[in-house]
Amino acid sequence: MSSILQPVDVNIGRSPARKRARYDEDVDEVNKSGRWSLNKSEVVLHEVYDHGVGRLDCDAEEVLTDDDTIFNKNEPGAIDVSCCSMTPNSRDKQESLNKLTLGEWDNLLVKKPMIRPTDKTNYFDMLSDEVILHILRWLPKIYLMDIALVSRRFHRLTQDESLWTRMDVSNKHLEAGELGKILSKQVIILRLARSEICFPPILPDFKAALPDFRSRLLYLDLSMTYISPQCLTIVFSKCRRLKKLSLENVPVNDDVLITLSANKDIEIINFAMATGIQEDGLRYLLTNCRKIRELNIAWTYLNGPSIQYICENLPSTMDRLNFSGCRKLLSDKSEYYGISNKQNSI
């Protein structure tokens, strides 16, 4: 029994030696095509491999290479992915791969190249502390905590006071002791506007808790900060060099003003909308702080005696005084003393 199939360009030399269908060498002169014969008499079976062995299908996901197919590449529809397409060359390659040792497999696998530094010189050790500090000044303060974990030298450098001269901790929630940690770094300019500071502001574990500790703080902004008068008293007890202070919309009492009066060089104070200001506290403040140039007590709801005392005891250095919201409590006598003190200072 024989049948004529469609013409197929078959690489006879590369085909397996054992095929169930043999290719006829005779060529039809009319169609110029080969003929496949399936006659039983023309099929030669191998003594070992062909008896009782059927065709095995390969996986569809198997990728065929040049050595694994005997079909024409230009006709994908004629490709058969059966195991019979494997050539002796491909089987030899598979057997050689099976004989590889584990070490030889590692050499064949594609690995990510490992970069091994040949130069182990630590160039930071060649830099002076001044150069490294100049580099660290350009980094945000939050990264200094991570840099301090690199080495002992970097930990020592990150604690240098020159890196902590200015800090902005506004709109933050500071747990108990966090403000003392900031003051221990000898900050000069500190902004805590709209922050929440828990009590106590200073814990015994930090340098700021020492009795002889004096902060270098010059400019302090506590505008609309949620802080208790007790916390303010503790903080001001560590300050002696304040120049500018803002306590806008912050509750105070006489103890806060008495402690603040120890900063005799203070020049600008903003008490706008502050509550709790009394005459006794003002007396200590205006008596000890005689270098005040600007004083804002707008909308502090001071009583008449307090306003009169301020007008009678204005420092000679006073340039600007804001009494907004207190106009109804001003008397002619208070205005007279205020103008007289200003004229005497001129």
Rounded to whole angstroms, how far apart are CA atoms 18 and 151? Answer: 73
Instruction: State residue 106's pLDDT score.
Output: 63
Rounded to whole angstroms, how far apart are CA atoms 218 and 189? Answer: 6
Mapping DSSP to helix (H, G, I), strand (E, B) and coil, where does residue 125 land? helix
Give, as one character, the DSSP assignment of residue 242: -
Ramachandran quadrant class, 52 (left: phi over 0; alpha: psi -120 to 50; beta: rest): left
Which amino acid, residue 33?
A: S
Compute CA distances 150 → 78, 105, 140, 182, 269, whole Å. Answer: 66, 40, 17, 22, 42
- The residue whose two tokens read 């290479």 is 65
Task: Please state, as a whole number, how many other Cβ atoms lie within 10 Å of the Cβ of residue 167.
Answer: 15
Compute CA distances 43 → 32, 40, 191, 250, whole Å. Answer: 24, 5, 98, 106
Any idea where the domains of the chain sit in the sequence? 22-108, 127-345
Rounded to whole angstroms, how far apart are CA atoms 44 and 46? Answer: 7
Instruction: Give the contacts of 333 (CB within 8 A, at least 6 positions apart).
Output: 308
Which amino acid, residue 24?
A: D
Q: Edge to edge, what strands does the sheet with 189-191 contain?
A: 166-168, 189-191, 219-221, 244-246, 268-270, 294-296, 320-322
Beta carbons of 132 and 158 less than 8 angstroms apart: no
First to last CA, the chain: 132
Beta carbons of 294 and 271 less than 8 angstroms apart: no
Supply φ then ψ for residue 158, to 5 degrees: -70, -15
Rounded to whole angstroms, how far apart are CA atoms 4 and 24? Answer: 11
Beta carbons of 252 and 228 less than 8 angstroms apart: no
Mapping DSSP to helix (H, G, I), strand (E, B) and coil, where does residue 69 land? coil
Q: pLDDT tens digits, the chain, 346 residues: what are they?
A: 444 555 555 444 554 544 444 444 454 454 444 455 545 555 555 555 555 545 555 554 555 454 444 444 454 444 444 444 455 555 555 556 566 665 666 666 655 566 676 777 888 889 999 999 999 999 988 899 899 999 999 999 999 989 999 999 999 999 999 999 999 999 999 999 999 999 999 999 899 999 999 999 999 999 999 999 999 999 999 999 999 999 999 999 999 999 999 999 999 999 999 999 999 999 999 999 999 999 999 999 888 888 888 888 889 899 999 988 876 666 655 554 554 555 444 3
Supply φ then ψ for residue 234, to 5 degrees: -65, -40
Rounded to whole angstroms, how far apart are CA atoms 9 and 6? Answer: 10
| CATH no. for 127-345 | 3.80.10.10
pTM, two decimal places: 0.62
Cis peptide before 211 (omega within 30 of 0): no
Rounded to whole angstroms, how far apart are CA atoms 295 and 232? Answer: 19
